[in-house]
Amino acid sequence: MDVPADIGRYLGCDHVQELQVKLSVRDHLFAHLFDKSLPDPAAKEAAAAERTQDFWEVDAPKGVYIRHRCQPRKGYNVPDEEIINKCDLSNVRFTDFVQSSLEDDAASEWDTFRGDARGYVQGKRKPSMWVGAAYLFTKSCKDAKIALASIKRDRQELTPQRRKLELKASGTWTSCSTKPVNVMTYGRRKFRSQTSDNMDR
């Protein structure tokens, strides 16, 4: 609660503020979207977060359950009877084949899975191994095709490529990449050198 003063040292760090600095286009936060020769600063984190095990994704408002298949297999996805009953799923299924070992396989497919005396069964198998996602719909979902289209549209709107096109179309990239900004740098180099000097004495 000291009297306000100019920016300087705080908690051992020297703070230096520069006002109205003109950065190069390459220094912009989203420069990698517009210049493919620049590395994506989040690329390493994204690679580390890549999933290798199957997992569920739920879009409750649309009534859609998505089972992502990361482990290659031939069988189509059918959830356990307990999941079907608890989530009140219909037998409508949309399978999106992201990758398949046969080039002539369909990229996606609508079908239904069936139940018999033994419970719910897959009903069929693909002739090749595949990974991708199975979309399952609740009985309250009025139109599965509309729900699926809505999910795919929402995801498309979030892609960096679409964001890039929007920025270019609006001219935002040109203006924000050349607009002067305020820069704050801080470091403890002086503090460390003083500490080491004091220890040497």
Does any domain span residue 30?
yes
Does any domain span residue 43?
yes
Does any domain span residue 29?
yes
Select the more confidently predicted residue: 146 or 18.
146
- Model pLDDT, residue 94: 93
Does any domain span residue 161?
no
Does any domain span residue 89?
yes
- Write out pLDDT tens, residues 29-82: 667 666 666 777 666 554 445 678 888 999 989 999 999 988 888 888 888 888
Select the more confidently predicted residue: 142 or 125.
142
- Does 82 lie in the same domain as 20? no
Mean pLDDT of 99-107: 60
- Does 35 lie in the same domain as 58? no
> 138: pLDDT confidence band, cut at 50, 70 and 90?
very high
- Does 112 lie in the same domain as 41? no
- Give this prediction's pTM: 0.53
- Does 176 lie in the same domain as 134? no
| Whether the predicted pLDDT of 20 surpasses 50 | yes
Does any domain span residue 164?
no
Q: How far apart (Å, rounded) are the C-alpha atoms in residues 121 and 182?
A: 62
How high does pLDDT run on average in the chain? 75
> 88: pLDDT confidence band, cut at 50, 70 and 90?
very high
- Does 68 lie in the same domain as 22? no
Count up the domains in the chain and report the number. 2
- Does 114 lie in the same domain as 36? no
- Does 103 lie in the same domain as 85? yes
The residues, any chain, with a CB within 8 Å of residue 94's CB and separated by 6 or more, are 108, 109, 110, 134, 135, 144, 148
170 close to 163: Cβ distance less than 8 angstroms: no
- Model pLDDT, residue 183: 78
Q: Please give the residue range of the domain that contains residue 126.
A: 53-141
- Model pLDDT, residue 141: 93
- Does 28 lie in the same domain as 13? yes
Does any domain span residue 177?
yes
The residues, any chain, with a CB within 8 Å of residue 113's CB and separated by 6 or more, are 76, 78, 91, 93, 120, 121, 122, 123
- Does 59 lie in the same domain as 121? yes
